Amino acid sequence: MSLEQRVLQLFVSGVTNGSIYALLGLGLVLVYSTTRVVNVAIGDFATLCALAAATLVTRGWGLLPAVAAGALLAAAAAALAYRVAIHPARRRGADPVTLMIITIALHLALQGTAQALWGTQPYTLPALSPGPPVHVLLAVVDRQKLWVLAVSFAIVTLLALFFNRTTAGRALRACAVNPTAARLTGIPVHRMGLAAFALGAVLAAVSGALIAPITLATYDMGLMLGLKGFVGAVIGGLVNYPLTVAGCILLGLLESFAAGFLASGYRDAVAFVVLIAVLMARALPLLRHGVMVSEEAAKE
Amino acid sequence: MRIRGREAAGLAAAAAWALLPWAVSDRLSLSIFVLIGLYVPVVAGVALLAGHAGQVSLGQAAFYGLGAYGSAILSTRLGVPPLLSIPAAVAVTGLAAYAIGRPIFLLRGHYLVVATLGLNVIVSVVLRQWVSLTGGASGIKDVPPLAVGPFEIRGDLGYYYVTGALAAASLVLCAHLVRSRYGRALQLVRTSETAAETLGIDPSRAKTGVFVLSAMLAAAPGALYAHYLAYVNPAPFEFTFSVDVLMMGVIGGLPHVPGALVGTALAVLLREALRSFVPRIFGGAATGEFESIAFGLLLAAVTVLSPDGLWPHLRDAALWAARGGRRRAAESRGTSSPADAAASARGEESVAPRALPARGAAQMVDADGAGDVVHGGRAAATAPVLEVEGVRRDFGGLTAVSGVSFTVRPGEVFAVIGPNGAGKTTLFNLVSGVLRVTAGRIALEGRALDRMPAHRVAALGVARTFQTPRLAPRLTARENVMAGLHMRLRAGMLGSLLGRARAEERRAREEAGRLLDTLGAGAFCDTPAGDLPFGALRLVELARALAARPKLLLLDEPASGLSAEERAALFRHVRRAADSGVAVLLVEHDMDFVLGLADHVLVLHHGEPIAWGTPEEIRRDERVLAAYLGAPAAAAGAAASPRPTRAPSGPPLLSVRDVRAGYGRIRVLHGVSFEVHEGEVVAILGPNGAGKTTLMRAVAGLLPAEGEVAYAGRRLDRLPAERMVALGVALVPERRELLESMSVRDHLILGAYARRGRGARREAAADLEEVLALFPDLREKAASPARSLSGGQQQMLAIARALMSRPRVLLLDEPLLGLAPKVVGEILETVARLRERGLAVVIVEQNAAATLRACDRAYVLRGGRIVHEGAAAELAREGRLRGLFIGSAAGGEGAG
């Protein structure tokens, strides 16, 4: 394989993985900006959907209905978790750390449930269109990877339209920008938190269904997927949708090239090295000047 | 008595621990207890970090792993004896934590979670991949056992004692730290970093220290673990163990040191129980899923139902049992414990009289006899303590403060006053180092402090209080005051851990107690700040500020929320502090208080100084009156005469009866009633701090309130804001509360959110046209984000947004604040047009002159009560508003 070919190949798989991370990252940002909850369990909704869909497909369901059912299951689980755990804690004024610990609990419960129901063996989902890989320029690309790109792109576009063109989307944004203002225009901020949780779970579910044919689905795949989405979202500042997509795709590319040209075993560490580098880059200028200007403090 | 009980309990626990191996020998493997002993320090560290510094780490497994691999590599590759390799590994881990923590804690927020999580993944990948150093997945074998001289420690029994001792030691160290100077600093950082900084605490350093400690508390048992098993592999150091450790801490109770033991023991034993029972019930060998589900549910339940963990419940149960036992014992001796209780209650009462304020000025600051107290302050000849020269501060394009110059001398009380939005708080934050100046100079005794972080400004001798007292709720009143002594105490982290600074602590306790006594708050010494009444919070915060022996004392609205008696007492305390030589800079709304107390007063308006002088001069100054009441206050009656008042007819559309509300323990409204009819504009006027905004928030459902809100004959009190809007009561809040990044059109579309049902969409489109016709400026800006609008346009947008919900009652909170006279006119014209349409409008304003021209009736709100009500024209003619804003000429209610 020529170097050009190899680079192109790595580029395609980097962008593919980045798109998967982007769906999770968008889900995280959606939940965080609306509710200030970092949802550690978001990847587990990807697991839930992929495994449920795999079971339904073996029972003779079509792929799309099976994935739709899986996504619905994920959304229902997310809504339930929000209602019974997150909502009461928020009502009581719990701090962000407590809320995050609740989602850690949710992660343990969901991953345990997945293991109890599906065991530790891997499951697969059929690809969206079967067939041999296709040639794109010099690269040989799996069809499913093209689907991942297409579906992710479509979802990002739909999400942008939803947030900018529909009243419900604007209402969700309003809750994120200024909850008091949102309440004063009649938006039920708490119910919007539930909607954000469910919608975030659906985004994760789609990512799970897309990646299962490529990497297979196991009960514990969610955590690492969710963490990667989180890293991408943090690179993007955790509140900005376009930057989150960019951050996640950048992360996918870095991983892919690091694994391809350096040592593949270190692949999973790349994301976090990048993450710590980003945080240090933000903090070190503060250290050099020796002064932290606490603008936020004035608003406390 | 109590100490003896505690010592007895400790001895009993130690004996039980020593004998336990024989008790469980055939039923349970000792390795479970070794595990508990290994985990307790790790959990104690994470609990210290989260429960006391408010920072969460999800990477403790990495530090545990660094300890294990560090010691294993040193002892196998380099032949270092374990007795040295263990501390070396712990030290290296501490350095690694410092390298991460120092920069991360400069960022505000919860970045530590992210960074430690990342570190954990990186460490586990490296442990697996760097085969030449770590042995990869198969790990390192033949790690030598821990040996002290010729004695090798091997097997479960040996490590049971070693790890148990380590666990006990770590708990004792943490308990010392929590009660030390360092522990108090952490509690303050957790409560408010700003407050901590103003006491001279560097929050990022304090957090870094405790993070490094938590890493070392993880590394030490990690290193022991390697020598215990004689083998390490990467599996135990995965991210999941970090989650486990945090979970154990939460279950036990993060704020409580014994919680680490309780949580760890419970989790380890529960896991063991699941492993032995589940296979018997469900068959099969795999139980990981049930553990995961069980712990997930347990963790969620504890977090939601008992956020302080299980330890407080266990402790209460134990105390209850012990008390029961003691009572039985007492009964057998013939003494009844209720009598004991009564006796101790009397004892407390007898303390209270002693705690009344002591007379004599010097005692105030001269608490332990070593102070350099200047008697008889007010000496104008002394050099100024504070010099402020031409200070300006911009926020983006807005200038909050400009051209401000003044000096404050020792013993002087200097007040800064001005209407809402005048820039007082900004000025305050500039002087205390919380904000930086854009231009100009601020100097304390000749040293420029405008480039210094707040904690260094504090170290130079500046102390402050806050509008809402910021005390650490879990610390007692005395401990909060001791936190004020932070800069005068010396105990470092190591000394704190070892519990060394006993003498210093005792002196600090005494001094804090004396200070509280002097302020008349001695009775509250041992009450947690979270349980104090509001008036006491203010006093404790003042005591905390004085404890630092400041040269300059900044008081931010110290009298707000206090009763008349409390105000009078505060007045005396501040005066006495000044007389002892402290320079006092004061921001306050209560004019009587300010003008009675201050030696000099500076008046700010729109960020610029408009008057400077003695209280008498300020009281007579027409410019000051105009700043408060709006343009030509005196001529208001003649110029634009209020329209002839229409007598309100029929039942009121909105009627508010006896509303009481506040924030936490501060009561702001003491029974306010008003009403408004269809087609009527009603003003509620009042000075800053009268409770105007609180009233609007309470009526609109943003703030829980007592009392009655009736609208169109229906009770609406206790309905949340979003329901109020849907029913037709819309609030245009103070400061407008726009959605900064969203467009004008977005605002207007969302304005109609509350309306549903058939045809709502078409109606909304029609309303949109109508509203844009009312505010032509907004039509041009429809696609622009709200933050790009001018102040006047933003106010129009806020009103337009409220109109989109088709309200019948419109509540406007300070709609004229910060607007140019021309825009004020436009807004009031709009209000007149809305009245023509039959809306009921309530305007809450400080700018009385302008508002009275546009309204039918007016109420005057002061100190949370309606003190006057009448037709607008009448009120405008009378001169009574003047006294309301500038204070009664008689001096101050607190002067006595």
| B233: pLDDT strictly greater than 50 | yes
Average pLDDT (B657-686) is 88
Task: Note the pLDDT of residue B332.
Answer: 59
Task: Note the pLDDT of residue B363.
Answer: 35
pLDDT tens readout for residues B701-719: 888 889 999 998 888 888 8
Task: Note the pLDDT of residue B501.
Answer: 81
Measured over the CA atoms of residue B5, residue B10, residue B11 and residue B15, the dihedral's sign is positive
CB contact under 8 A, A108 and B292: yes
Residue type, A216: L
| B816: pLDDT strictly greater than 80 | yes
B34-38, B561-565, B683-687: least confident range: B561-565
CB < 8 Å to A268, chain B: 121, 125
pLDDT tens readout for residues B487-523: 888 888 888 888 888 888 889 999 999 999 988 888 8
Residue B662 main-chain phi, psi, to 5 deg: -175, -170
Task: Note the pLDDT of residue B482.
Answer: 92
Residue B595 to residues B431, B613, B889, B892: CA-CA distances in angstroms? Answer: 22, 11, 9, 7
pLDDT band at A296 (very low <50, low <70, confident <90, very high): very low
**Contact in structure between B761 and B749 (CB atoms under 8 Å):** no
CB contact under 8 A, B303 and A293: no
Which of A86, A113, A173, A184 to mutate against chain B (most B CBs within 10 Å)?
A184
| Most confident option among A59-63, A199-203, B421-425 | A199-203
CB < 8 Å to B293, chain A: 108-109, 112-113, 116
Average pLDDT (B449-455) is 81
pLDDT band at B44 (very low <50, low <70, confident <90, very high): very high
Average pLDDT (B357-368) is 34
Minimal Cα–Cα distance from A153 to chain B, Å? 24
| Most confident option among A269-273, B208-212, B421-425 | B208-212
| A293: pLDDT strictly greater than 60 | no
Search chain B and give the residue with CA nearest A267. Answer: B125
Compare CB distances from A177 to B294, B436, B741 and report the shortest one's residue: B741
Q: Is A240 on the interface with B (CB under 8 A)?
A: no
CB contact under 8 A, A108 and B243: yes
CB contact under 8 A, A109 and B296: yes
Task: Note the pLDDT of residue B641.
Answer: 44
Answering whether pTM is above 0.95, one says: no
Task: Note the pLDDT of residue B871.
Answer: 87
Task: Note the pLDDT of residue A64.
Answer: 92
Minimal Cα–Cα distance from A139 to chain B, Å? 30
Look over chain B and give the mean of its residue pLDDT values, rounded to a whole number.
83
Residue A80 main-chain phi, psi, to 5 deg: -65, -45
CB < 8 Å to A298, chain B: 425-426, 429, 434-435
pLDDT tens readout for residues B416-433: 988 777 788 888 888 888
| Most confident option among A84-88, B607-611, B621-625, B873-877 | A84-88
Compare CB distances from A185 to B247, B723, B753 and report the shortest one's residue: B753
Average pLDDT (B283-310) is 83
**Contact in structure between B689 and B562 (CB atoms under 8 Å):** no
> Which one is the CATH code of A3-299: 2.40.50, 1.10.3470, 3.40.50, 2.60.40?
1.10.3470
Search chain B and give the residue with CA nearest A190. Answer: B722
- B320: exposed, middle or buried (C-beta count within 10 Å: 0-12, 13-18, 19+)? exposed
Average pLDDT (B745-764) is 83
Helix residue spans in B523-590 (DSSP H): 534-547, 564-579
Average pLDDT (B277-299) is 77
| B661: pLDDT strictly greater than 70 | yes
CB < 8 Å to B297, chain A: 105, 109
Tell me what percent of the residues of chain B surpass a pLDDT of 70.
87
Strand ranges for B500-650 from DSSP E: 552-556, 583-587, 600-605, 608-613
Which of A163, A185, A239 to mutate against chain B (most B CBs within 10 Å)?
A185
Q: Is A192 on the interface with B (CB under 8 A)?
A: no
Task: Note the pLDDT of residue B843.
Answer: 94
| Separation CA A192–CA A79 (nearest Å) | 11
Report CA B42 to chain centroid distance, whole Å: 28
| B789: pLDDT strictly greater than 80 | yes
Average pLDDT (B209-214) is 95
Angle at B762 between CA B761 and CA B765, to 5 degrees: 90
CB < 8 Å to A271, chain B: 118, 121
| B286: pLDDT strictly greater than 50 | yes
Tokens of B821: 């006279």
Average pLDDT (B593-600) is 89
| B774: pLDDT strictly greater than 70 | yes
Which of B110, B121, B278 to mutate against chain A (most A CBs within 10 Å)?
B121
Task: Note the pLDDT of residue B648.
Answer: 62
Measured over the CA atoms of residue B683, residue B689, residue B695 and residue B701, the dihedral's sign is positive
| A202: pLDDT strictly greater than 50 | yes
pLDDT band at B643 (very low <50, low <70, confident <90, very high): low
Nearest to B794 by CA among B773, B816, B762: B816
CB contact under 8 A, A291 and B452: yes
CB < 8 Å to B438, chain A: none
Compare CB distances from A279 to B104, B300, B454 and report the shortest one's residue: B104
Angle at B577 between CA B573 and CA B580, to 5 degrees: 140
Task: Note the pLDDT of residue B432.
Answer: 83
Tell me what percent of the residues of chain B surpass a pLDDT of 90.
33
Search chain A and give the residue with CA nearest B53. Answer: A97
pLDDT band at B822 (very low <50, low <70, confident <90, very high): confident
Task: Note the pLDDT of residue B522.
Answer: 86
Look over chain A and give the mean of its residue pLDDT values, rounded to a whole number.
87
DSSP code at position A85: I
pLDDT tens readout for residues B606-623: 888 888 888 888 888 888
A297 or B713, which is more confident?
A: B713
Task: Note the pLDDT of residue B589.
Answer: 78
| Separation CA B796–CA B789 (nearest Å) | 10
Search chain A and give the residue with CA nearest B298. Answer: A105
pLDDT tens readout for residues B834-861: 998 889 999 998 888 888 888 899 998 8
CB pairs under 8 A between A and B: 233
| B253: pLDDT strictly greater than 50 | yes
Q: How many CA atoms lie within 13 A of B566 on its CB side?
A: 16
B366 or A226, which is more confident?
A: A226
pLDDT tens readout for residues B736-746: 889 888 999 99
Which of A108, A110, A187, A241 to mutate against chain B (most B CBs within 10 Å)?
A108
Q: Is A291 on the interface with B (CB under 8 A)?
A: yes
pLDDT tens readout for residues B663-674: 777 788 989 999
| Separation CA A40–CA A105 (nearest Å) | 9
Search chain B and give the residue with CA nearest A90. Answer: B304
Compare CB distances from B292 to A96, A111, A171 and report the shortest one's residue: A111
pLDDT tens readout for residues B328-356: 666 655 444 444 444 444 433 333 333 32
| Separation CA A95–CA B431 (nearest Å) | 30
